[in-house]
A and B are shown apart, each in its own frame.
Chain A
Amino acid sequence: MLAPRWRSVAELATAPAAPAGSVVERLSRLRRLAIVPALNEEENVGRVVDELRAFDPGMDVVVIDDASGDGTARVAAEHGAHVVRLPFNLGIGGAVQTGYRYAHEHGFDVAVQVDGDGQHDPAQLPLILGPLLDGEADLVVGSRFAGEGEFRSTATRRIGITIFARVVSAVVRQRVTDTTSGFRAVNRKGIALFAADYPHDYPEVEATVMCVKHRLRLAEAPVTMRERAGGRSSITALRSIYYMAKVLLAIFVGLFRRATVLTEEDR
């Protein structure tokens, strides 16, 4: 493992963990948005929206329907979410970026990203919002591996996850344990960056590297994720090999790339 040149966010979050109430209270002074990417999740998206509103009734929820063939958009709207329907499937990267563009255009201060399949528990949002509200990070990623507890998965996925974690940790010179987590929170800087530039297919790995390149401060917070309630994961075995090559190439080329210039207005 790499020498910890950074303050472990696992420590940050476990030390004097702010009670959920205070996070919600501090949050209430900000304009906050939950971005929920969803593809064929009519069974789960309603519950996700309900849980988000239960956590913080003043939080806007935008569901990005990535051209679902089922009633995802209808269910989300019935549960009180803003719904953006994409004309055709853009993939998770394009869908999520649509959410960040929405956040940027509407001037939100904080955006959290929560999967529409219900694997992320909105009750755990205080864990990832804490470091953000404390001003300690611009992007906080909920990690399944930062805390204790085993994560069970197939061998190929575990290998992929380990390789990405090692590569990304080396590139960003900071220990990163979960590079594929879509449970995250960003402040205005993060919103502006992601609205301007967001990677496609399997984007979380590249987005992490991108943030650090733009001198945004990255932190991980330990979370637990739920088993998928319904639907199916979008990552199959054969595809993951292709993604692996693509993402590693993207990280490598990214090292030789200049950072996207953000104007003052964006920040």
Chain B
Amino acid sequence: MTPWPVTIVAAIASLALLVVVFELIRSRRLRERYALLWLLTGVVLLVLSLWRGGLNTIAGWFGVETYPPAMLGAVGALFFLVVLLHYSTVISRLYDQNVILAQRLALLEQRLREEHVSDEGS
């Protein structure tokens, strides 16, 4: 069985994660679409840390019999991996959009400059 201190600390930590994410959304520093995965992570970790019997059962499925809280770390690591991967796709999209913006801006500037020159010429 999971030692009580581990249960308490894990529950407080997941609750803190949920509160921080909520506050970040509220103050508009985090968009809802990027917060959903974090909220899911927080909820899953909170449930697993409070539901001690469940954690034991899940640990049993994976043959982890000596120390069930190890599952907590494993599940957390899995979710962080998913969040990181998600962010990699987000960064890639932002990069592509940034290239398009720079190109459009440069073309616009060039067109304005040429129109300016032809105005002065006439």
Which residues of A line the B interface, CB within 8 A? 87-88, 200-201, 242, 245-246, 249-250, 253, 256-257
Is there contact, CB below 8 Å, between B104 and A87? yes
Central interface residue in A249, A253, A256, A257, by most chain B CB within 10 Å: A253
Q: Tell me if B's interface is mostly helix, strand, loop or mixed.
A: helix
Is there contact, CB below 8 Å, between B22 and A246? no
- Considering only CB atoms, which chain A residue lies closest to B97 in the complex? A88
Is there contact, CB below 8 Å, between B36 and A249? yes
B90 nearest CB across to chain A (Å): 14
B98 nearest CB across to chain A (Å): 10
Q: A190 to B28, alpha carbons, bound, how many Å? A: 21
A210 nearest CB across to chain B (Å): 13
Q: Within 8 Å CB of B28, what residues of A?
A: 257
Q: A249 to B18, alpha carbons, bound, how many Å? A: 13
Among candidates A87, A88, A253, A256, residue contacting B32 with C-beta atoms closer than 8 Å: A253
Q: A257 to B33, alpha carbons, bound, how many Å? A: 17
Interface residue tally on B, bucketed by range: 10 to 19
Is there contact, CB below 8 Å, between B104 and A246? no
Is there contact, CB below 8 Å, between B36 and A87? no
Q: A246 to B96, alpha carbons, bound, how many Å? A: 25
Among candidates B32, B97, B101, residue contacting A250 with C-beta atoms closer than 8 Å: B32
Among candidates B25, B35, B100, residue contacting A87 with C-beta atoms closer than 8 Å: B100
Q: Within 8 Å CB of B31, what residues of A?
A: 200
Q: Within 8 Å CB of B32, what residues of A?
A: 246, 249-250, 253
Central interface residue in B25, B35, B36, B104, by most chain A CB within 10 Å: B25
Is there contact, CB below 8 Å, between A253 and B25? yes
- Considering only CB atoms, which chain A residue lies closest to B31 in the complex? A200
Q: Within 8 Å CB of A88, what residues of B?
A: 96-97, 100-101
Q: A185 to B101, alpha carbons, bound, how many Å? A: 31
Given A201-B33, A245-B36, A246-B36: A253 and B22 interface contact (C-beta under 8 Å): yes
B86 close to chain A: CB less than 8 A: no
B91 nearest CB across to chain A (Å): 15
B113 close to chain A: CB less than 8 A: no
- Considering only CB atoms, which chain A residue lies closest to B96 in the complex? A88
Q: Within 8 Å CB of B100, what residues of A?
A: 87-88
For window 6-38 of B, CB contacts with A under 8 Å fall at 22, 25-26, 28, 31-33, 35-36
B41 nearest CB across to chain A (Å): 14
B104 nearest CB across to chain A (Å): 5
| The 3 residue pairs across chains A and B that have the minimum distance between CB atoms | A250-B32, A87-B104, A253-B25
Is there contact, CB below 8 Å, between A257 and B26? yes
Is there contact, CB below 8 Å, between B35 and A249? yes
Is there contact, CB below 8 Å, between A200 and B33? yes
